[in-house]
Amino acid sequence: MPILKRGKILVINCGSSSLKYEIFNMPQKDSLGKGLIERIGEKQATISQKNINCEIERTFYCPNHKTAMSKMLELIEEPTCRIISNLSEITSIGHRVVHGGEEYSESVIINSKVIKAIEENIELAPLHNPANLTGIKVAMEFFPKVRQVAVFDTAFHQTMPPSAYLYGLPYEFYEKFKIRRYGFHGTSHRYVSTVALDIIRRYAENTNMISCHLGNGASITAIEKGKSIDTSMGFTPLEGLVMGTRSGDIDPAIIFFLAERGYSLEDINTILNKKSGLLGLSEISNDLRDLEQKAEENNEKAIQALEVYAYRIRKYIGSYAANLVKLDALIFTGGIGANGVRMRERICRKLENIGIFMDYEKNREIGSKSGVVSCDYSPITIVVVPTNEELQIAIDTYELTL
């Protein structure tokens, strides 16, 4: 039996003003510790880090991502609450990259070609790809001899057929501008679908699933024999479900209607992305917990917002079930999917007609843990799986850099 190479994988998720990181011991898949830097570019940034034994938080001056990365590396090996003893223990680095366009359908070792592709897709992800690229370049500067891997949010959905990813627009827009549905949350959908197969003891080759990643950002993916064949997010993460602050699907003519009444394109963009969804409908909050509390107090707008959220999810589940022909499992994940016990019940309560029967007692008992929450007689198994995108990035990185 071959001896597997051991390694410590640093996972980096670089946002426009934040930096998340975690170190995994592979192949055991053990998390050694993780941290978060926020408010990069402001006068006072914060860094919090924890391992199994301790947790610390500090403030510091952080004008850019290079300073943030330097602070991260300093804290990782600082005796106060270190994650590893020495940075030389890091064998490879995995980076979350939001948009890989049509170029990449799987994770890849980063080279000049990959960097160029990420740069070319900046226009498709202007808020995320530049920050992801900054993280890669700074990490390569600090670790010039360590192999680094790009794990794309869009990669898992590159198996969608043209019938699923093309819009009903003139085909020249796809040819000229690559306007098509790309989908996001791919790393999460891929991770939870793999874990779900283990839980229900099935093989990907003969299993069809629908994965619901529900959080402030939310998407649903139809998975046939281990491959994504459709997903609710589209050209951008705005399409699809009603989300925390995003509108999801709307009639495109609404944009022109608002523009004719004095709203600028910038105004409309802000409204659809940051002032809509649960927040806009309820006029209370984008946080499900706040709305559930208000709903208990019989707040009509909170109740209505929750019903709209659940209704839209049921519509997608129904349409994907129709196109999959045979459905074996329904997965709930994400901050709401894995923790929102009541929302899972609200969604499943009207799905019995397509063979989805929830065991409400099991659902309450399992809470936010992994496991099956469907009735024993349910033709379709309902599974709760907390997502772990960082671990999936570590797994991909380890497998590519063995």
| Catalytically annotated residues | 153
Q: Is 53 left (phi over 0), alpha (psi -120 to 50) or beta?
A: alpha
Packing angle of the helix pair 300-324, 341-348 (nearest 10 deg) = 60
Main-chain phi, psi angles of 163, to 5 degrees? -60, -25
Do 221 and 232 touch, CB atoms closer than 8 A? Answer: yes
Question: Where would I find the H helices in 20-142?
Answer: 65-76, 112-120, 129-142
Do 66 and 48 touch, CB atoms closer than 8 A? Answer: no
Half-sphere exposure of 353 (CA within 13 A, CB side): 7
Q: How far apart are CA 97 and CA 12, in angstroms?
A: 10
Q: How far apart are CA 190 and CA 391, in angstroms?
A: 11
Query: Beta strand pairing status for 381-384 and 329-333?
Result: parallel
